[in-house]
Structure formats: C-alpha cells, structure tokens
Structure 1
Amino acid sequence: MGKLIRLAVTFFQIGLLSIGGGYAIIPMIQEQVVERFSWVSQKTFTDIITISQMTPGPLAVNTSTFIGIQIAGIPGAVLATFGCVISGISISAFLYRLFQRFQKSEYIMELLSGLKAASLGLIISAAVTILLLSFTGTSVISEIRTADWTAAAIFLCSLFVLRKWKLNPIAVMIGTGIVGLCVSMI
C-alpha cells in the first residue's frame, strides 16, 4: 500500500475511533505513527503534540496535519487531515439522526453514560502520556526515573500560578519558556 494511502487510512481509523476528543486520542496516534509505522520519532511526536496544542484548531486535526507534512509533505497533510476529519463528520451526522429519532430512549441514555466513562478513561490516559512525554521523552511509565525534574518543577509552578492568580495562559507559557531557556543555559 502506498505511503499516502496508508496515511489516509491510518488517520481515517484514528478519526473513526477518536471517542473523547483530541487529548483522548493522543495514545492511539502515538501507537500508530511512532510505534507501528515508525513514521516519526518519539521526540518529533512530542514536538508535534506541543505545536498542535499551541495552534488554533482541534488537537487531533492539527496533529494529523503536522504528521502528514512530516511523512509526505502537503499531499500527506491534506490526506491525513481529510482522513481524520471525514470519519468524525460521518459519525456525527449519523449520531445526530439517531439521537433525534431516539432521544427519549433510556437505552440510548445508558449508551451515552458508558461512552462518557470510556471517554474519561481515554482522557486520563492521554494526560499521563503527555506528562510522561514532557518529562521523560517517552510514554513508558518505567522511565520516570529519567524524568527532567527541572521541567516538572517549572510545570508545577506554572500550574500553581495559573490556578492561584488566574493569569493569562499565553503570558505564563512565554514566562515558562524564558525560564526553561535560562535554566538550560546554566
């Protein structure tokens, strides 16, 4: 299968199974593009996730676009993005019609409760993956001993500042970037 077709099919599958949104799908994207196909390195994947979080738009779409560019340039970006988005659009249209028809059904409400629980689990998994990638450069929990404790301290301080004083997140990001740069020069 050609690289472009494999890219489109892979991101179609990712989009098809992205219950819970962008953060919940990070582990699946990582498993496909880093571990299964080795399209990008773990470090590059971490950088792509970081950039995807800072750019406007949904995380899964931004990530698929950036990975598509890394793998096959502009055609790769277009196909990966299309694959990621078209499945979600199709599912949303189908579910909209289904919920309109059965909105009073208690079976549908129970199904939604189960999906919410699965979504929460996926989001927690994504949060752990992001923290591990940020502090260890890998998503393997046993590598916690190699964590960058300076980065963890900067993260905890910025989290405290954001929660305590409700500062502008962009200002905090710029400040933590400057602190990280200064610490790396020491």
Structure 2
Amino acid sequence: MGILLKLYLAFLKVGTFGFGGGYAMLPLIQKEIVTNNQWISQSEFIDIIGISQMTPGPIAINSATFVGYRVGGILGSIVATLGVVTTSFILVSLAYVFFNKFKESHILSSALSGMRPALIGLIISVFLSMGFEAYRDVNSIIIALIIGGLLYKTKIHPILIIVIAGVLGTIFYGLIPTLIA
C-alpha cells in the first residue's frame, strides 16, 4: 500500500472514530501515528500537541497536516488532512439535511449522553500518557505547578500561558544550567 493511501486511511480512521473532537481524539491519533505506523516518536507527538495549541485550527487537522508533511511532503499533508476531515464533512452535510427531523430524537440524545463520560475518560488517558513523557524531572514539575496555579487562580489568556511556559522553560532549562555550569 502506498504511503499516501496509508496516510489517508490512518487519518480517515481518526476522523471517523475520534468522537468528541480535540483532546478526546488524542488517544486515537497517538495510536495511529506513534504506535501503529511509527511515523513520529512519543516526544514528537507531545511537541505536535504543543504546536497545535499555538496554531489556529483543531488538533486533529494540525497533526494530520504536520505528520502528512513529515511523511509525504506537501501532497502527504493534503492527503492526511483530507482523510481526517472526510467523515466530518459527510456527517455535517447529512446533518444539515436531516437536522430538523432528528433534533428531538430521544435515541440520539441518549447516545450522546452515554458518550460524554467516555470522552472524559479518553481525555484523562491522554493526560496521563503525556504526563509520563512530559514530566521527566523536577523542572518540568515546577513549571507545571506554576502554570497550573496561574490557570487556577487567574483568568490569564491561553496564549499568555504558553508564552509564560516558554519563558519558564528558557529559565529552568537554559539560563539556570548555564549559570550553574
């Protein structure tokens, strides 16, 4: 199977079975691109998540575009991105046509209510998986505690949080070790 078809099918699977969007899709994205196909490492996967938070657009599309480019160049990024949006495009198109007919459906409402706890479980799973990779030393834990405290106590904009985390990373991993050495 050609790499472009493999990219398309991997991200089609992500787009088809990744209910809940964003963070809920991360376990499936991780499994497809890190575990199953080994297109990137776990560390690179965490970097993609960070970059996805700084760039406009959903995590799934950003990761598809990045991994597609890495594996197959510009055409690979286009194919992977098309793969991740294909199912959503079809479903949204159908939903538009049939929305009024099914908006009061008890079955649909019940199914969506049943999915909510599972989505939270998926998000927690990714948090733990990423946490074991990201929190390697005392510095990373200190940065996480500072950022977590800021988020909990203030209403700082997420972009500012990313900038603060970058500054703290520069201090803890660049400046302090340089001063100590």
Q: Is the 8 A contact 2:10 2:32 kept in 1?
A: yes
The one-letter code of the counterpart of 1:76 is: G
Mark the CA change 1:3 to 1:161 in structure 2 (over 3 Å): closer, same or farther.
same
Alignment of structure 1 residues 1-186 onto 2, 5 Å? 1-135=1-135, 147-185=136-174, 186=177
The one-letter code of the counterpart of 1:44 is: E
Aligned Cα root-mean-square deviation (Å):
1.7
The one-letter code of the counterpart of 1:64 is: A
Shift of 1:99: 4.1
Q: Is the 8 A contact 1:25 1:126 kept in 2?
A: no
Long gaps (5+) in structure 2: none
Runs (4+) off by over 6 Å:
none
Q: Is the 8 A contact 1:34 1:45 kept in 2?
A: yes
TM-score relative to the length of structure 1 = 0.85
Deviates more, 1:102-111 or 1:22-31: 102-111
Residue 90 of structure 2 aligns to a residue whose secondary structure is: helix
Residue 19 of structure 2 aligns to a residue whose secondary structure is: coil
Mark the CA change 1:102 to 1:36 in structure 2 (over 3 Å): closer, same or farther.
same
Shift of 1:114: 1.3
Distance in structure 2 (CA, Å) of the matches to 1:116 and 1:183: 38
Shift of 1:17: 0.6
Q: Is the 8 A contact 1:20 1:120 kept in 2?
A: no
Q: Is the 8 A contact 1:16 1:88 kept in 2?
A: yes
Shift of 1:31: 0.9
Shift of 1:4: 0.6
Q: Is the 8 A contact 1:24 1:125 kept in 2?
A: no
Identity %: 37
Distance in structure 2 (CA, Å) of the matches to 1:107 and 1:57: 31
Distance in structure 1 (CA, Å) of the matches to 2:18 and 2:57: 16
Residue 38 of structure 1 aligns to a residue whose secondary structure is: coil
Q: Is the 8 A contact 2:54 2:159 kept in 1?
A: no
Shift of 1:148: 2.1
